[in-house]
């Protein structure tokens, strides 16, 4: 019986083993994280089982630990993670924090409370109240960035220069939401726009509160709003993790109680600010620029350490 499960959304054990045998080089983006973790455990001589999250309740024997490779996108996925925990399984990231901090507003509130440097952030619902519109002007000042509380891939992230543009952005987000399969939420966040065209975004993978590899993403051309997720529009290279960056990452992940996280960091010309923390998240792109780091192995080692303590 396998003591450790790797939780996926589409891969079962047989497919995972096939992909693992072919190697990481040929692996599709969406399979990269579970494959590299599986290979990491293999290197340590430990057999793991790859299980689709939707199938967890079909098994009789429960593992000691389950590592989730993706953020929980839906209520059903979140429920399955909590169900596993109720069976006595140690789930990483812990479902309570994994699901709570997938929400950008819950995350921002906790980070602000913990003195993590980040752009001024407000929550708004739709239609925004007059007080909230006034707050945007008074507390943040235009331009601002409007985004859904639960999203990803840079989808539905808008730079807005006026109240009308904020309104339009809210409308677009609410009209598109069902098609994207976001967890229904009645809120959005409005954030101070940080001009980060020069240093770009620094994306850092963190394991056990320790920053282990970083990637810089800068725009390829002159742009009014750089959305770093769009590969075509960004130059990517590895980036040195300075003391300032590692302390920022540690503080953020410690306060969100996340064992694994991918942090997007902005630079305003003066200091680094946390843009968002993705619980777990795909690290292929960062790893491509840091090929000497065996991320799967690092995750495997950390998970075994957690299992013993």
Ligand X SMILES: Nc1ncnc2c1ncn2[C@@H]1O[C@H](COP(=O)(O)OP(=O)(O)O)[C@@H](O)[C@H]1O
List of residues contacting ligand X (CB under 6 A): 119, 145, 147, 151-155, 157, 191-194, 196, 201, 226-229, 264, 266, 275-276
236-275 positions binding Mg ion, by CB under 5 A = 264
Minimum gap (Å) between residue 307 Cβ and Mg ion: 30
Confirm or reject binding of residue 147 to Mg ion (CB under 5 A). no
Q: From the list ligand X, Mg ion, none, which binds 126 (C-beta under 5 to 8 Å, kind-based)?
A: none
Nearest alpha carbon to residue 65 among 36, 37, 99, 102 = 37
Residue 36 vs 234, nearer CB to ligand X: 234
Beta-strand pair 201-207/260-267: antiparallel
Q: From the list Mg ion, ligand X, none, which binds 180 (C-beta under 5 to 8 Å, kind-based)?
A: none
Q: From the list ligand X, Mg ion, none, which binds 201 (C-beta under 5 to 8 Å, kind-based)?
A: ligand X
Minimum gap (Å) between residue 98 Cβ and Mg ion: 16
- Give the residue nearest to Mg ion (CB): 264
| CA gap 27, 124 in Å, rounded | 40
Residue 24 vs 155, nearer CB to ligand X: 155
Residue 6 vs 211, nearer CB to ligand X: 211
Beta strands in the chain (DSSP E): 4-8, 49-52, 65-68, 90-92, 121-125, 144-148, 158-160, 187-192, 201-207, 210-219, 234-238, 260-267, 272-279
- Give the residue nearest to ligand X (CB): 228
| Spatial CB neighbours of 277, under 8 Å, sequence gap ≥ 6 | 101, 107, 111, 252, 253, 256, 258, 261, 262, 263, 264
Answer whether 111's CB lies under 8 Å from 274's CB.
yes
Contact set with Mg ion (CB under 5 A): 264
């Amino acid at each position: 019986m396998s003591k450790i499960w790797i939780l996926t959304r589409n891969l079962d054990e047989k497919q995972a083993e096939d992909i693992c045998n072919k190697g990481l080089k040929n692996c599709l983006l969406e399979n990269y994280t579970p494959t590299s973790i599986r290979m990491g455990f293999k290197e340590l001589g430990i057999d793991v089982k790859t299980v689709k999250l939707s199938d967890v309740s079909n098994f009789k024997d429960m593992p000691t630990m389950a590592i989730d490779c993706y953020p929980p996108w839906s209520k059903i996925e979140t429920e399955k993670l909590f169900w596993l925990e109720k069976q006595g399984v140690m789930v990483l990231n812990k479902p309570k924090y994994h699901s709570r901090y997938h929400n950008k507003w819950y995350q921002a509130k906790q980070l602000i409370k913990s003195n993590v440097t980040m752009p001024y952030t407000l929550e708004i619902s739709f239609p925004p109240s007059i007080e909230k519109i006034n707050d945007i002007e008074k507390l943040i000042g235009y331009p601002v960035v409007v985004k859904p509380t639960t999203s990803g891939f840079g989808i539905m992230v808008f730079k807005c220069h006026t109240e009308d543009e904020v309104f339009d952005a809210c409308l677009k987000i609410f009209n598109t939401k069902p098609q994207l399969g976001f967890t229904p939420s009645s809120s959005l966040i409005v954030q101070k726009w940080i001009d980060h065209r020069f240093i770009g975004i620094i994306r850092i993978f963190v394991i056990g509160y320790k920053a282990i590899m970083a990637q810089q993403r800068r725009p390829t051309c002159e742009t009014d709003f750089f959305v770093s997720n769009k590969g075509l529009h960004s130059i990517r290279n590895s980036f040195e993790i300075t003391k300032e960056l590692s302390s920022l990452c540690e503080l953020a992940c410690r306060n969100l109680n996340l064992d694994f996280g991918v942090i997007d960091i902005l630079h305003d010309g003066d200091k680094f600010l946390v843009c968002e923390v993705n619980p777990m998240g795909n690290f292929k792109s960062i790893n491509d620029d840091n090929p000497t780091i065996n991320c799967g192995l690092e995750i495997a080692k950390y998970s075994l350490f957690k299992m013993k303590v």
